[in-house]
Structures are given as C-alpha cells and as structure tokens.
Chains A and B, each alone.
Chain A
C-alpha cells in the first residue's frame, strides 16, 4: 500500500494533529513501512470467522440507572488549562 502526501494531510486533519509541510515526507515514509508490516495479514482467508475482542467473550454488564458519583467539578477542573465559573474556556466557536 502506498500513501500520498495528501493522504497524510487528510489523516492528520482527522486526528487533529498539526503536521507541517516539512514533516509530511518523514511521516509518510515511516507509516508506509508500518503498513507494509500490517498488510501481511490481508492474505489470510477469514471468511466466516467471528471477530474477537475479549478472550472470555464476556458481555458488557448493565448497572442500575442510579446516581453513584458525587459532583467533583472543582477537583476535576484543577488540571484545566483555562477554566472559570465551572466552565472550561476555549476559543470562541460561535460568532
């Protein structure tokens, strides 16, 4: 599989990671090497195989729809880059 510079720019945008024009070539080369490794698995015939994500095939538990956690806003916001009056501050998104 080969990735173009545009592919890298598109993925980087989707991932919300800034990749400068100087970096694109380097990133492209490394990712191509990794995809070469990954593409080894494409040849395996897996028709009819049920995909697995948990070895014991457990099903997710349900819990009662009840309030179990206390409001811990102040404590949890202590790590915010910018916060005020209980809100996280970000650049203006609505004009």
Chain B
C-alpha cells in the first residue's frame, strides 16, 4: 500500500470513509515506519503491535457493519503519561518502568469512543518535568529536523513522532508549555485547551491546577477534529467543566476581517533571538493582509509568571508525587533498614535529578512557616496576571507572540543549568497559571533554518476562534506543510 505518512487527520479520515484505505493498512504503515525510524529518534517508549492491529481490525469491522464514528480507524499515539488499561505506562521514569496501567484515562477512552486506534506510548521528560526531553529515563528524543537538537519538552516524543510521520497525530499534556514549545521546535500545530476542558482522570498528575491535555497535529483543522474527540465533561475529574459539547471546527472557515490581535510589548523584547522575532513579524503581516488589525498591549505582571510557576508547580508536584513510595506500586529499593528508609531509598533510586529537585523545592515552599511567602504569594500573582489579560481582552480578541524566545537548541546546551532551561518557557507559562487556552502554529524559520512557532493565547473557552485564526493563516501559508527529509 502506498500512503503519505504526512497525511493529515482530515485526509486520513476522508480516505477511510471513502474506503481507499483500511485502518489495518494504516496501522501497519505507521508501525512499519516506526520500526524503521524510531531507533534513531527514540520517540516511542512502548509499542504493542498486536494490540494496535487488533484495535484497527475492530474499527474496520465496525465500518463494514455500517457503524460510524467521527475518527473511526484514524491512528493516534499517546504521551506515556496517559493510562491505558493493559499498556505499560512509565511517565518517562524508572519509578514506573514496569507499571502496567490497570484502567484507562478518560481522554484516551473518549478518543477510542471516537474510533481512534492507539499506535503506542510516546517518550517524554520524566513526570513531564523538562523542556528538552533530556530528563527521560528512557533517553532523550531526537528532533527529526536535526538529530543533534532537542525536540522540546516535556511532550517531546509526541512532537517528534508526528513531525517524523510516525503517527498522524498525538496527545500531549501541557503544564507550563509542554505542548506548545515542542510543537514549535518540531514545526507542528499544538493546542493547550482551557483548563477543565479535557479530563485529567487517568493522566499521571504533575501540577493539578495547571495540567491540561491537548493534541499535536500537522494543522489547526486537525487539532479541532482531535479536540472534538478529547474534550468533554467527566465526573471523575473534580475540576472538569460541566458544559455542553461543542464543535471546535465550526468557525474554521470564518474570514479574519475585523479580528483584533493584541501584541504584548513584554513578548517582543530583547530576550528573543532576532530570527524568531523576524518570523513572527512576517506572520503578523500575513494576518494583517487577511484583514486582522494589531494593537500593542501590556501585561505588566506577566514577568512574574516564571517565579510564580516555580512555586506552584513544584508545590503541587511534591504533593502529587508523594504517592510513589515503593509500597503500593512503582520502584522499591532492594535493601533498606525500615519503612522510612524504604521510602527514602525507593524515591532516591526511582526519581531522576530534576524530579527530585522539584519535589525538594515544593516540600520547602509548603513547609511550616513558608506557605504565605510562597504558595499564597504565587496564587495572588496568578490573579494579577489573569487581570492583565482580562484588561487586554477589552481591546483585542487574541494575544499573539513568539511561542519560545529561541528555536530548538543542541543537546546539553541547558541540561546543567535548570534556571536557563526554565526560562525557555517564559511565554507559555502564563496561560497555565491563568487557565486560558493557548496554541502554537508554525510561522517560519530563523537564519539557521530552525522552525519558529507563533503562540496564540485566547480568552477562556475561545478555542474555536483560535483554531479559526490559525486555520486561516494555514490556508494562506505553507510553513505547516514542510516535513523533515527522513
């Protein structure tokens, strides 16, 4: 069978519906390509061809019986943070090296209900803590565009797999930029929805008030199709939004005439690599040609996003990761003196350096006497940042800027300096702190040919408009149609 590995979800869906291709053929195609290319990229941690092919066969049988589902037979690969019953789920950690999930996360279930076939589990920074995929216990993922560079993180495997044509789409999670930054580094479109749109049930928790699931794909249209499947109320997630389903594709075709784009001066400063700014400026010209207007805005408190985040995220992580104690699941040390020593050694052996650092920071800021100075102060800053955005939406519909200040960097460039690594997320973190939706789409290359992403931040629940904005840009440009030569 001949199949374009870079076909979009929309094209794949159409080909399946026209019976030009079967789900089994597609699954085989991506599994074969993965067998060939994954050893060089390390995008997948776990494959289970037997399960994948049996799921694919079952969707083909459904189709032949006349059953319909929105994405029946379309393959999808999941970040290894999503539990899927019977699949090993490692979260990129030695702690869960041999953990087999006993139940399925809601997002994966909803996607399976929509007919999607699971191709495998994707590599990631350990417990989603990292911006380069270098913290994975299973080794770093290589960027398919340049294997000496990082794919971004923490959803690095999710980005690399789609960029290399090892899956037509994938899921990721975004706590501080973990979908948007790798989407930029690998020339993809990635979306972090409004907090509460996608259920967190069955996604291994990092920072519960920030974590949100979202899709990676070649196009904004695909992200809309995928979000239609992923989103939905779930009583098992206490912060899931109880609201009717919406169709995120409904506004894709709307012209952009009259759209007001806010450009925060804080996002266009000297901290950006010149090539990144140039690409974003060129993309803004395209938006103006499409009928949008731009207005300069200011988000004066957004500069506190990174410090506030490095209180909130580690604090919540230290609490969430206390469940890994070597008693009920996960790694247990071989030798220990007593139960406390068992906890300490199991955690010291099972967690990598970055995860331990964050647990220690979180433990400190939550320890007796420090709560007001850290967690409470960070919570108040979240409010101030959210108010900055609220004010901005009086004069604009979406906020746009670069996704990250520099494109994909070399392995090792920041690995020894956590603060340098953290500052790579300077533009993405604010949307997690406020809970707003945000996405990244390809918008050009810098002087070295490295891909630049444009971030669109929207008001709460405004995903359909943001996808419309990105889709109209993609109709007028072809950056998103460029694929690595592998």
- Asked whether A91 lies within 8 Å of B419 as measured between CB atoms, the reply is no
Contact with B along A65-92 (1 / 0, CB 8 A): 0000000100110111110000010110
Bound-complex Cα distance A56 to B363 (A):
28
Classify the secondary structure of B's interface with A.
Answer: helix
- B343, closest chain A residue (CB): A16
**Contact of A61 with B242 at beta-carbon distance under 8 Å, contacts A37-B310, A78-B100 already known:** yes
A91 adjacent to B338 (CB under 8 Å): yes
| Contact residue among B195, B377, B419, B460 (Cβ-Cβ distance under 8 Å from A41) | B377
A44, B381: Cβ atoms under 8 Å? yes
One digit per residue, 1 when the CB lies within 8 angstroms of any chain A CB and 0 when it does not, for chain B 413-444 equals 00001110010000000000011100000000
- CA A41 – CA B347 in complex, angstroms? 31
Q: How many whole Å from A95's CB to the nearest CB in chain B? A: 11
Q: A37-B307, A53-B382 are in contact. Are A60 and B238 (CB under 8 A)?
A: yes
Contact with A along B382-420 (1 / 0, CB 8 A): 111010000000000000000000000000000001110
Inter-subunit contact B383/A49 (CB<8 Å): yes
Which of these, A27, A40, A55, A80, contacts B386 with CB under 8 Å?
A55
Q: Bound state CA distance, A95 and B328, in angstroms?
A: 22
Residues of B within 8 A of A17 (CB): 344, 347-348, 351, 356, 359-360
Cβ B384 vs Cβ A44 within 8 A:
yes
| A54 CB to nearest chain B CB (Å) | 6
| A13 smallest CB distance to B (angstroms) | 8
B360 touches A38 (CB 8 A): no
Do residues A11 and B367 form an inter-chain contact, with CB atoms below 8 A? Answer: yes
The CA-CA distance from A51 to B308 in the complex, in Å, is: 12
Asked if B102 is an interface residue, CB under 8 A from chain A, the answer is yes
Task: Tell me whether B379 and A79 are in contact (CB under 8 A).
Answer: no
Give A63 to B301 CA distance when docked, in angstroms: 37
Can you list 30 residue pairs at the A/B interface with Cβ under 8 Å? A11-B360, A13-B344, A16-B343, A17-B348, A18-B348, A27-B356, A27-B357, A33-B418, A33-B419, A37-B419, A40-B307, A44-B377, A44-B381, A51-B380, A53-B379, A54-B209, A55-B436, A56-B195, A56-B435, A56-B460, A61-B238, A61-B242, A72-B102, A75-B102, A78-B100, A79-B100, A81-B326, A81-B332, A90-B327, A91-B342
Cα–Cα, bound, A17→B360 (Å): 9
With a 10 A CB-CB cut-off, give which of A35, A39, A76 has the most chain B CB atoms: A35
Q: Which residues on B sit within 8 Å (CB–CB) of A51? A: 376, 379-380, 382-383
User: Which B residues are closer than 8 A to A by beta carbons?
Assistant: 98-100, 102-103, 194-196, 209, 235, 238-239, 241-242, 301, 304, 306-308, 310-311, 318, 322, 325-332, 336, 338-345, 347-348, 351, 356-357, 359-361, 363-365, 367, 373-374, 376-384, 386, 417-419, 422, 434-436, 460
Contacts beyond the supplied A36-B419, A52-B434, A55-B194: 12 A-B pairs with Cβ under 8 Å: A15-B347, A16-B322, A17-B347, A31-B361, A34-B361, A41-B311, A44-B304, A53-B382, A55-B434, A58-B196, A80-B329, A88-B327
The reply to whether the CB of A22 lies closer than 8 angstroms to some CB of chain B is no
| Residue among B235, B306, B380 making CB contact with A37, cutoff 8 Å | B306
Docked pose: A15 CA to B346 CA in angstroms: 12
Could you tell me the distance between the alpha carbons of A91 and B348 in the complex, rounded to whole angstroms? Answer: 18
Q: How far is the CA of A74 from the CA of B431 in the complex (A)?
A: 41
Contacts from A to B (Cβ < 8 Å): 7-8, 11-19, 27, 30-31, 33-42, 44, 46, 49-56, 58, 60-61, 63, 72, 75-76, 78-82, 88, 90-91, 93
CB proximity of A24 to chain B, nearest CB, Å: 11
Query: CB-nearest residue of chain B relative to A76?
Result: B102
> From B342, which residue of chain A is reached at the shortest CB distance?
A91
Known contacts A30-B357, A58-B196, A60-B238; is A38 also within 8 Å of B384 by CB? Answer: no
Partner of A34, one of B235, B348, B376, B418: B418
Q: Which residue of A lies closest to B208 (CB)?
A: A53
Closest to B349 in A: A18
Shortest CB distance B380–A (Å): 4
Hey, which chain A residues are within 8 Å of B328, CB to CB?
Answer: 79-80, 88
Q: Shortest Cβ distance from A5 into chain B, in angstroms? A: 13
Complex: how many Å from CA A82 to CA B359? Answer: 25
**Closest residue of B by beta carbon distance from A55:** B435
Report whether B307 and A38 are in contact in the complex, using a CB–CB cutoff of 8 Å: yes
Measured CA separation A56–B462 after assembly (Å): 13
Contacting pair A56 B367 (CB below 8 A): no
Give the CA-CA distance A57 to B342 in the complex, in Å: 40
Also in contact, A27 and B360, with CB within 8 A (given A17-B351, A79-B99): yes
Bound CA–CA A18/B306 (angstroms): 28
A63 and B383 CA atoms in complex are apart in Å by: 28
Distance between A46 CB and nearest chain B CB, rounded to angstroms: 4
- Cα–Cα distance between A14 and B361 once the two chains are bound (Å): 11
Contact present for B381 and A31 (CB under 8 Å):
no
